Amino acid sequence: MPAALRGLPTLDDLGDLDGRRVLLRADFNVPLEASPHGAMRVADDFRIVATLPTIDALLERGATVVCCSHLGRPRGIADPRYDVAPVREVLGRLRPGVGLLENLRFDPGEESNDPAFVDRLVDGFDAYVNDAFGASHRAHASVVGPPARLPSAAGLRLAREVEVLGGLLECPARPFVAVLGGAKVADKLGVVASIAKVADTVVIGGGMAFSFLAAQGRAIGSSLVDVGHLADCRALLEGGAHLALPTDIVALSPGADFGPGCAGGDVETFAGDLADGWKGLDVGPRTAAAFCALLAEASTILWNGPMGAFEDDRFSAGTFAVAHATAESAAFSVVGGGDSAMALDRAGLRDDVSFVSTGGGATLELLEFGDLPALAALRSASNAPGPR
């Protein structure tokens, strides 16, 4: 059992729920889009559907369930752009009778962890369940406050996230290949260091790869680089970690724009150093083939972060190559992070991987630190069982 699960109260630790009111902290921070009629609607209901098993388990125990969630970043004001009405419509259709409170972040007390806001939030409820893994790395009122006031438990999805991600750190089937991408190396240096201790190979792609390449002395043109963390990258490279870096790069000529719908400038593949002014935006075909070969031999795969600016079709090949290799592998495959999940969706491969995490920052923090503020709060609840 992963360490983060030990002492975590489960639904069974709530006792008899018949006729009780349960406040369920969900992660319904879902993307919205305009419908053909102009009204906002939910564009991807994955996080809503992921919470349904917990809702059903509570309903089967006779509880009345009321959900609460944040949506977007309204910064403590009732901004109509972040109204949860579209989410409430989907939830009401999927599970009639289950309530949903207004956006938690409409009140400044949520993000400031105001005790008075916690008191108002839990008023009238008999128990609390956290199934919002994606928000569990934040010490916000709705996440860490209720377990000090009500009998509390981890929801089924939250417990499963901790079980899967914690298991990667403690007992992965080998070979274990971790693929880490994304733009900012600062966001993932700690994760790289933690994963490198247990993975057989850590594959580095995306914008963060250029800081590692620069730390090796490679010329990277005008590619994204974090000069403040080059020493950290160099320390990881020289510390015995088995890191796989790009050997060829797809780059865009100086001054040209990239992104959805962009087409200007020249695109070339560089083997080795990039020319001055050129911006690396994807791993090259030789690198993609090497990364995919590693994934084909893996027994456990973790993928978090794209290999390039895949929103621009000219720089999507590396990301989609990794998506297909992950989906086609016989390994136990875990995909975390919104961009990686989005790439899976665009390739029609979400159902072909073993587990898709609902977390972004929470996934990274659990992998880096082995615990989260929400988990610590739940373990301190009055009904928590103590270490199992």
> How would DSSP label each residue in 281-347?
EEE-HHHHHHHHHHHHT-SEEEEES-SS-TTSGGG-HHHHHHHHHHHHSSSEEEEESHHHHHHHHHT
Supply 187's token pair. 């966001």
Same domain, 64 and 33: yes
Same domain, 260 and 131: no
Residue that terminates a domain, selected from 123, 158, 193: 158
Predicted pLDDT of residue 336: 87
State which residues form the domain around 10. 3-158
Same domain, 305 and 270: yes
Share of the chain above pLDDT 70, in %: 99
Return left, alpha or beta for 195; rule: phi > 0 is left, psi -120 to 50 is alpha, else beta.
alpha
312 domain residue, yes or no: yes
Same domain, 154 and 246: no
Supply 242's token pair. 């088995």
Closest by Cα among 24, 19, 18 to 101 = 24
The DSSP result for 81-94, as a single string, is GG-SHHHHHHHHHH
Residue that terminates a domain, selected from 299, 330, 361: 330
349 domain residue, yes or no: no
pLDDT tens figures, 293-321? 999 999 999 999 999 999 999 999 999 99
Share of the chain above pLDDT 90, in %: 86
Which residue reads 């949520």 in tokens? 110
Is pLDDT above 80 for 351? yes
| Banded pLDDT at 387 (limits 50, 70, 90) | low
Cα dihedral: 174, 364, 371, 231 (round 10): 90
Residue 55 burial (10 A CB sphere; 0-12, 13-18, 19+): buried
Same domain, 63 and 126: yes
Contacts of 96 (CB under 8 A, 6+ apart): none
374 domain residue, yes or no: no
Same domain, 181 and 150: no
Give the count of domains, the chain: 2
Q: What is the pTM of this model?
A: 0.90
Is pLDDT above 70 for 94? yes
| Banded pLDDT at 169 (limits 50, 70, 90) | confident
Same domain, 244 and 308: yes
Same domain, 182 and 42: no
What does pLDDT average to over the chain? 94
Assess contact for 71 and 30: CB atoms under 8 A. Answer: yes
Give the CATH number of the domain where residue 266 resides: 3.40.50.1260
**Sign of the C-alpha dihedral computed for residues 260, 264, 269 and 274 taken in this order:** negative
Residue that terminates a domain, selected from 110, 133, 158: 158
Which residue reads 């890191």 in tokens? 243
Distance from C-alpha of 136 to C-alpha of 43, rounded to nearest angstrom: 23
Predicted pLDDT of residue 195: 93
pLDDT tens figures, 284-300? 999 999 999 999 999 99
385 domain residue, yes or no: no
348 domain residue, yes or no: no
Is pLDDT above 50 for 388? no
367 domain residue, yes or no: no
Cα dihedral: 13, 16, 19, 23 (round 10): 0
Predicted pLDDT of residue 170: 87
- Interhelix angle 185-196/156-170, rounded to 10 degrees, is 60
Distance from C-alpha of 101 to C-alpha of 85, rounded to nearest angstrom: 10
Is pLDDT above 80 for 1? no
Contacts of 372 (CB under 8 A, 6+ apart): 4, 136, 137, 362, 365, 366
**Sign of the C-alpha dihedral computed for residues 371, 372, 375 and 380 taken in this order:** positive
Is pLDDT above 80 for 337? no
pLDDT tens figures, 59-81? 999 999 999 999 999 999 999 99
Same domain, 240 and 198: yes
Predicted pLDDT of residue 347: 92
186 domain residue, yes or no: yes
Q: Are strands 32-34 and 40-42 parallel, antiparallel or unpaired?
A: antiparallel
Where are any strands of DSSP class E within the chain? 21-25, 32-34, 40-42, 64-68, 99-100, 127-130, 152-154, 176-180, 201-204, 243-244, 248-252, 267-271, 279-283, 300-304, 332-336, 355-356
Same domain, 79 and 219: no
Asked whether the bond before 31 is cis by omega within 30 degrees of 0, the reply is: no
110 domain residue, yes or no: yes
Same domain, 274 and 247: yes
Same domain, 109 and 145: yes
Predicted pLDDT of residue 91: 98
